[in-house]
Structure 1
Amino acid sequence: MEQAPISRRAALTGALAAAAAVALPQTAHAAVPGRQRTPDTAPVDYQAWTRYADWHKGTAAGVRVRPGGGHAPDGIAIDRPLGTAPYTDPHTGTTADWEYATWTSPEHRPGFGASELVASWNADTPPGTWIEVELQGTYSDGTATPWYVMGRWARDDTDIRRTSVDGQSDSRSDISTDTFEISDKASGLRLASYRLRITLRRSPGSTATPFVRRLGAMASDIPDRFTVPASVPGEGRGIELAVPRYSQDVHKGQYPQYDNGGEAWCSPTSSEMVIEYWGHHPSAADLSWIDPGYADPAVCQAARSTYDSQYAGCGNWPFNAAYAASYGLDALVTRLHSLNDVERLIKVGIPVITSQSFLATELDGAGYNTSGHLMTLIGFTAEGDVIANDPASSDDAAVRHVYQRRQFENIWLRTKRYAADGSVRGGSGGIVYLYKTPGTPWPKGLDLR
């Protein structure tokens, strides 16, 4: 269903509605005749700390850097806690004490003024442990932001309820679920640099510890735009990856405590497809809580494991990446510039989960309107059109779709669109989830690590 035009976070819901038969202004969905097409050059910077040397560049307080070796990753863990502090879970009302230690990144300058930032992380959180990720930045006028909470996370929901934190703002920037945003982009104010801080927590007296092997953020300054330059089909043509197909629609009505059930599970359903593509699957113990009569129980597990209790949904971007990473995958959230970037990833065997919002009239073959929807791109036809595993399908067999390249690229990369009632809403601006095995290299030409 369509949502209020207050934020591009409407692009997280995955809620679907019947197609509306309305005429859109031409600029909402079509190229301007005669306009010269050029590559998208809107600035995007993804920075991560993943290696032994990276972790030593930060400031550790009660944390030790643990070298990997062989196929094991480098990362950080609790060494000697700094102390003990209480945490009251706002979703259960439970107060408990937790030992804690912190690691703070060095200051990172993206090289441009950023208007948005999304952090993501890869961590193991055994029972009795959890993590908190925070951001503190410097504005382009030299003043500082507050320390903002970007997420409180654990793989399971027994110790704490994983959550974003609402109501964070200094009147010049704010946190919208999982995204730092400059409140008034037209003012010219931007984020010039930032630091990330991660706090590792465990039950007092325990020897368990979170283990963090990736901490990063995507900073960007995507201009307001209804249309984007069209890319020319390239190296992805004719490649289709064998990604499992899962429908969210077969889960309608199941476990409504997690984002109203399967009709809103586009994000975890897409994540589960890619997790299983890389050969991973929840254990029998993980699935033991699920009604044995339900099809595709792994999708139910993914929904529960990505659920954000504050947002009351399963579409928190870094929570999806963190869930995928809990299987040992490299997982991150970033933005891409065009379908040519997707082609580079597909060519080396990496599926791409994309976020987009559109009317049915803007994407032939979809058959629905959405204020925000995730799907998995698995390849391209010989002509360069997009092959997508679209979870908004009647059943698993119907998940594979072919969408027109130009239509898809525009609805995914734009930041502004027209809703069915003619009002202006937001778009994701090219957001993607990227998951891969640690041994699979990122393609050349993409600034990832």
Structure 2
Amino acid sequence: MSRAEQPSRRAVLAVAVAAAVAGTASTSAAAVPAPADPAAGADTGGSDTARRVDHRSWTTYRDWRGGTARGTRAVAGDRPGLVLGTPAGIVSYTDPHTGRSADWEYATWTSPVHRLAVPATEAVVSWNAHTPDGTWLQAELQGTYSDGTDTPWYVMGRWAAGDQDIRRTSVDDQSDGRSSVWTDTFAVDDASTGLRLASCRLRLTLYRRPGTRTTPTVRRLDAMGSDIPDRFTVPASVPGLARELAVPRYSQEIHKGQYPEYDNGGEAWCSPTSSQMVIEYWGGRLTEEQLAWVDPSYADPQVCHAARHTFDHQYAGCGNWPFNAAYAATFDGLQGVVTRLGSLTDLEKLIAAGIPVITSQSFLAEELTGAGYGTAGHLMTVIGFTADGDVIANDPASESNEAVRRVYRRREWENIWLRTKRYNASGNVASGTGGVCYLFFPARPTPHQRAALAAVGVR
């Protein structure tokens, strides 16, 4: 996140989609009709968004046995998963970011078709996996539209925990003229036509060096489909919780200029900084050996490590949502998913269960009192609520670790997070995230945590 109101690459792509649909080079307030009264056109209720999100997870031995395997096999145990068994073949992969070519044994697993309870305009795929040296994976999505036709197979990510074998990457320029993939998000190109994604299936391809017995292990796979209505404002929720979680505080700003090869350094590291805060809240720690590559003069080297290990070499940034969830799950005993919540009431349920929430939002400086900056895309961590219902957030866009804890006005905060449309600094219409968040939580949640997750659609 840049402290100035600068468009992120994700925001630029979203505007490009809107411009293509409107048949104009840019999206303006005139091109996209919006209510003159900020309260007009508001959604009928915060809980309505929850019904507009469908979240499907594959985590159990039965889930992994239920798919179609070509060389993969399900493994049982405390955390069932999917591994590469007898390879289906060998394929050559040329890494577009290094130019290096190598042969890889591979095997695939394809999920059963999942019919979305909410026909979707957008979908995000996330995963949790262990990828030892010499292994990596690819995740894909293929769907059926509401008119009965099919999408192509879209690559939703090529991923490894490290960067010694391949460069972790999204894949650009994927479209069939009706839908496209923008970094980590499948999107119907023109939702106003009524076209939706009615069902989907996912495919995992697991890779390893030929002749070895090493394998990736996938523990969790998630597909989140949503159809969030266009809106500049959302209804006000009623405060229902006063609690604050003791989440570590890290500033991205103290890393300015450090490792500019990862998205120009720390000023843009809101996502990995937020991720590292929550990982450490749950007890995740990096060893001295893992941090040995970081300049010893840098404070909080774990934040540098998180930036390196969430960096998407195609997106050229650390804000790829599934890559952050996957990074969190590389720590023993943690799971990570990308989803959408419907209201601050949903968020309160998670905080009540001890689960902090990493949220994505964009806003002008004057729209969030006390922030002191505007942004086209920024991640922060909600850690609680005051007695008045205001939001307590660990905001990494702070000058020091001590300044990270902020209190933001409830009404302002919920609107910038849940809306899908906004006006940017130029007065043009831009996109909002519609309640997107990362949830990191234990591999073995308590009954209270499990109930809170289930209440927001995550199992």
Matched, 1:175 2:181: yes
How far the C-alpha of 1:165 sits from its partner, in A, is 0.1
Give the counterpart letter for 1:246 in structure 2. Y
- Listed as ranges, the matches of 1:48-197 within 5 Å are 48-68=57-77, 72-197=78-203
Q: Residue 174 of structure 2 aligns to a residue in which SS?
A: coil
Partner of 2:310: 306
Task: Indicate the larger mover: 244-253 or 55-64.
Answer: 55-64
Q: 1:9 to 1:130 in 2, by over 3 A?
A: farther
CA RMSD of aligned residues (A): 1.8
Residues 204-260 of structure 1, C-alpha deviation per residue, up to 9 Å, x if partnerless? 0111100001011110001111011111111xx221000000000000000000000
Equivalent of 1:416 in 421, 426, 439: 421
How far the C-alpha of 1:38 sits from its partner, in A, is 2.6
How far the C-alpha of 1:44 sits from its partner, in A, is 0.2
Give the counterpart letter for 2:382 in structure 1. L
Equivalent of 1:360 in 353, 365, 385: 365
Partner of 2:353: 348
Give the counterpart letter for 2:375 in structure 1. T
Matched, 1:251 2:260: no
Q: 1:367 to 1:30 in 2, by over 3 A?
A: farther
Check whether the contact 1:28–1:226 (CA below 8 A) recurs between aligned residues: no
- Unaligned segments of structure 1, at least 5 residues: 11-24
Matched, 1:427 2:432: yes
How far the C-alpha of 1:336 sits from its partner, in A, is 0.1
Mapped partners of 1:84, 1:352: distance in 2: 41
Partner of 2:407: 402
Give the counterpart letter for 1:38 in structure 2. G
Mapped partners of 2:150, 2:422: distance in 1: 33
Residues 358-398 of structure 1, C-alpha deviation per residue, up to 9 Å, x if partnerless? 00100000000100000000000011100000000000000
How far the C-alpha of 1:40 sits from its partner, in A, is 3.6
Q: 1:292 to 1:28 in 2, by over 3 A?
A: farther
Mapped partners of 1:435, 1:114: distance in 2: 24
Give the counterpart letter for 1:252 in structure 2. K
Matched, 1:238 2:242: yes
Give the counterpart letter for 2:281 in structure 1. Y
Check whether the contact 1:88–1:94 (CA below 8 A) recurs between aligned residues: yes
Give the counterpart letter for 2:202 in structure 1. L
Q: 1:292 to 1:390 in 2, by over 3 A?
A: same
Say which structure, 1 or 2, has more relative contact order (CA 8 Å, 6+ apart). 1
Check whether the contact 2:122–2:187 (CA below 8 A) recurs between aligned residues: yes
How far the C-alpha of 1:8 sits from its partner, in A, is 3.9
Mapped partners of 2:105, 2:413: distance in 1: 48
How far the C-alpha of 1:445 sits from its partner, in A, is 2.1
Matched, 1:280 2:269: no
Identity %: 63
Check whether the contact 1:29–1:226 (CA below 8 A) recurs between aligned residues: no
Give the counterpart letter for 1:50 in structure 2. T
Aligned residues: 429
Partner of 1:229: 235
Check whether the contact 2:392–2:408 (CA below 8 A) recurs between aligned residues: yes
How far the C-alpha of 1:29 sits from its partner, in A, is 9.6
Check whether the contact 2:144–2:198 (CA below 8 A) recurs between aligned residues: yes
Check whether the contact 1:9–1:176 (CA below 8 A) recurs between aligned residues: no
Equivalent of 1:381 in 359, 380, 386: 386
Mapped partners of 1:338, 1:375: distance in 2: 16
Matched, 1:446 2:456: yes
Matched, 1:218 2:224: yes
Mapped partners of 1:142, 1:79: distance in 2: 35
Residues 110-134 of structure 1, C-alpha deviation per residue, up to 9 Å, x if partnerless? 1232000000000000000000000
Partner of 1:289: 293
Q: 1:2 to 1:346 in 2, by over 3 A?
A: same
Check whether the contact 1:29–1:407 (CA below 8 A) recurs between aligned residues: no
Check whether the contact 2:141–2:201 (CA below 8 A) recurs between aligned residues: yes
Mapped partners of 1:446, 1:322: distance in 2: 20
How far the C-alpha of 1:338 sits from its partner, in A, is 0.5
Residues 19-47 of structure 1, C-alpha deviation per residue, up to 9 Å, x if partnerless? xxxxxx996995459x8963341310110
Check whether the contact 2:115–2:198 (CA below 8 A) recurs between aligned residues: yes
Q: Residue 65 of structure 1 aligns to a residue in which SS?
A: strand
- Unaligned segments of structure 2, at least 5 residues: 17-32
Residues 157-188 of structure 1, C-alpha deviation per residue, up to 9 Å, x if partnerless? 01000000000000000000000000011111
Give the counterpart letter for 1:63 in structure 2. T
Q: Residue 398 of structure 1 aligns to a residue in which SS?
A: coil
Q: 1:224 to 1:37 in 2, by over 3 A?
A: closer
Mapped partners of 1:221, 1:258: distance in 2: 33
Check whether the contact 2:275–2:358 (CA below 8 A) recurs between aligned residues: yes
Q: 1:9 to 1:435 in 2, by over 3 A?
A: farther
Partner of 1:39: 46
Mapped partners of 1:121, 1:439: distance in 2: 17
TM-score (norm. length: structure 1): 0.93
